[in-house]
Chain A
Amino acid sequence: NAGVTQTPKFRILKIGQSMTLQCTQDMNHNYMYWYRQDPGMGLKLIYYSVGAGITDKGEVPNGYNVSRSTTEDFPLRLELAAPSQTSVYFCATDYGTGGEQYFGPGTRLTVT
């Protein structure tokens, strides 16, 4: 039981490049979330999904896209990377019943 996994752990992108951050969970959770964390700041919600085929924007969605084709996977796509997207990205999951939320190990992204 791996819980929530994320790949890659680290990535350096050049301005204008694109990439996909992967998130997979084996906890059978319905809800999945993408947060970003900038230094000294709390986590901010980018996108979330309440189930396969259903996604919605969070607080800071600009420059990102998501899809949810299965219960297990929730990839985050960055198109045309910008320095402002330098951050640590965390995927999280829960059952969607108001209970506890669990985080993956994170992806540290630098855009130069």
Chain B
Amino acid sequence: QKEVEQNSGPLSVPEGAIASLNCTYSDRVSQSFFWYRQYSGKSPELIMSIYSNGDKEDGRFTAQLNKASQYVSLLIRDSQPSDSATYLCAVRRRSQGNLIFGKGTKLSVKP
């Protein structure tokens, strides 16, 4: 089983819709969770971090964490064409140290 799994997509949504991106992880002791956005040819840009069960909202973005199900998701409300990018889920297993990345989900928002 891969450590961090994401659907590679592409996920296509119309402009103004809600985009839902999902991620599962295998190590139950994982402690912190991150979503990065990566535009083609660019570096990963941190958009959300979440450390405890529940929802965390920041503008149009909501991260959801369910440690019992080992599942983390990212909702993007009112999707814009500028949200078209690859979204990387990353997990940190211990209290510090490197991140384990999924392969990313490619999102396409159609005008």
Contact = CB atoms under 8 A, between A and B. Distances in A.
A53 interface: no
Interface size class of A (residues with CB under 8 A): 20 to 34
A97 B88 contact: no
The majority secondary structure among interface residues of chain A is loop
Contact of A102 (B46, B98, B103): B46
Interface stretch (A14-22, A65-73, A79-87, A103-111): A103-111
Which interface residue of A42, A96, A106 has the most chain B CB atoms within 10 A? A42
A85 to B, nearest CB: 19
A45 interface: yes
A74 interface: no
- The interface residues of chain B, by DSSP majority, are classed as loop
B43 A42 contact: no
Interface in B59-111: 88, 90, 92, 94-99, 101-104
B28 interface: no
Contacts of A104: 43
A97 B43 contact: no
B103 A105 contact: no
A40 B8 CA distance: 9
- List of 6 A-B pairs having minimum Cβ-Cβ separation, nearest first: A42-B101, A103-B43, A43-B101, A42-B103, A98-B95, A45-B98
